Amino acid sequence: MKKIILLPLLVLAALGTKAQDSTSLYQQFNTCDSILDIAGTYNHFPSGWSAYSVIGAEDWRCEAGYGVNNTACFHINGYASMAANQDENWLITPKLDLSSYAGSIFLNFAASYYYPGDSLHIMVSNNYVAGYNPDSSIYSWTELQHFGVMLYDTFYYVTGTYDEFQSDLTPFKSSPVYVAFKYTSSTSAASVWDLDSVTTGTTSFGPIPGEGTGFQNLTKQMLPVSVFGMSTSSEVKVAFDVPQGQYDLAIYDLPGRKVYNRSISSQGGNQTTLLTDANLTNGMYILKIGDGTAYGVTKFTVQ
C-alpha cells in the first residue's frame, strides 16, 4: 500500500492554527505540473487536495495538455508495463463547508474516459480524516449520482472527448464534507480517466437522476439544440427544434454562473438564431433553452 499526500491544511494545523474549510471549488488544474520527486512519486497537488493509493502503483497525477482545450488536468491510467493492473486510487478535494448556501449547491466537473473499465465513482464523506486510508471501514462514504449535461446520465466511452457532469451536494450542507474521485481497475480491464474543471455552483443543469422526474422522464422532455460553426466572443450560432412558443435561452460558464440570457420566440420546427451580444471570453460554456416544462442543453467552446 502506498500513500501519496500533500496537505498544506495539515501543516497549518500542526502549527496550532485552525485551517479554514473551503466554501467552494474552482479548480482548473492549470498551475499543476507532472514532476516526480526523487523517489519517483508524484506529490504536486493543488492546495488542499490530496490523493491516496489503496491498491496498486498507478496514481492520480497532473498531465499537461490532456485537459479541456488542451490545458492541464488530473489523469490516471491503470495500464502499465504492457498489462492491466489492479488499482484503487482516490483523488480528494479540500474539506468543504457548504453551510453558507441558502439554496441548492452542485458539484460540476468535466471528465474524459477511454479504454474499457470501471466508471469513475464520485464519493462524499462527512467523517473522513485527511491523510488516512479513505477505504477504511471507519469512514462513511456516499456515492453521488451524476447528471451529464450532454444527455447522458452515465459515463460513456469516447476517446479524448470531454463531457460535463453535475452532482447534487445540497443534502450535505449540514456538516463539512470531502468529495473524492475514486478510480478502480483490474487485471482484465484498466480504463484511462482525465478529470478537469472541478467547481461548485448554484445552478442546476437539469434533474439529477433519482430526484424528481428522473432520467427516464427527462429524456422525453429533451429538446434538440446545438451550437454550430466556430463560436467567438461576438457570434454564437444556435440551432434548435422546439414547438411554437416563448423560450428562455441562457448561457452558463463551467462553475454554473449565468453569463447571458435572452427570450426567444419560436414559430415551431427547425430554426436557427445568431447571438451577437453575448460578449463571451475564450473557454467552454453550457447553453440551455427551455420553457419551464421542456428544455435542451448543449456545450460549446468560444475561441
What does the pLDDT read at residue 258? 80
What does the pLDDT read at residue 9? 36
Tens place of pLDDT for every residue, the chain, 303 residues?
444 433 333 333 333 334 568 999 999 998 888 877 766 677 788 989 999 999 998 889 888 878 887 788 999 999 888 889 999 999 999 999 999 999 999 999 988 887 778 888 999 999 999 999 999 999 999 998 877 654 344 454 444 567 778 889 999 999 999 999 999 999 998 988 999 999 999 887 765 443 333 223 333 346 788 898 899 988 999 988 888 888 889 888 766 678 899 998 888 888 899 999 999 998 888 888 887 667 777 778 898
Cell of 194: 482525465
Single-letter amino acid, residue 125? S
What's the rounded Cα separation, in Å, for the pair 107 and 178?
12
Each domain of the chain, given as residue ranges in start order, spans: 2-201, 222-302
Buried b vs exposed e over 134-170: b needs ≥16 C-beta within 10 Å? beeeebebeebbbbbbeeebebeeeeeebbbbbbbbe
Q: Cα dist. 143→50, 96, 157, 173, 297 in Å?
A: 19, 16, 21, 16, 25
What does the pLDDT read at residue 152? 40
Contact 282/300 with Cβ under 8 angstroms?
no
pTM exceeds 0.85: no
Cell of 65: 495538455
Domain 2-201: which topology? Jelly Rolls (2.60.120)
What does the pLDDT read at residue 207? 52
What does the pLDDT read at residue 121? 92
The domain 222-302: what is its CATH number?
Answer: 2.60.40.3080
What does the pLDDT read at residue 5? 39
What does the pLDDT read at residue 32? 84
Single-letter amino acid, residue 205? F
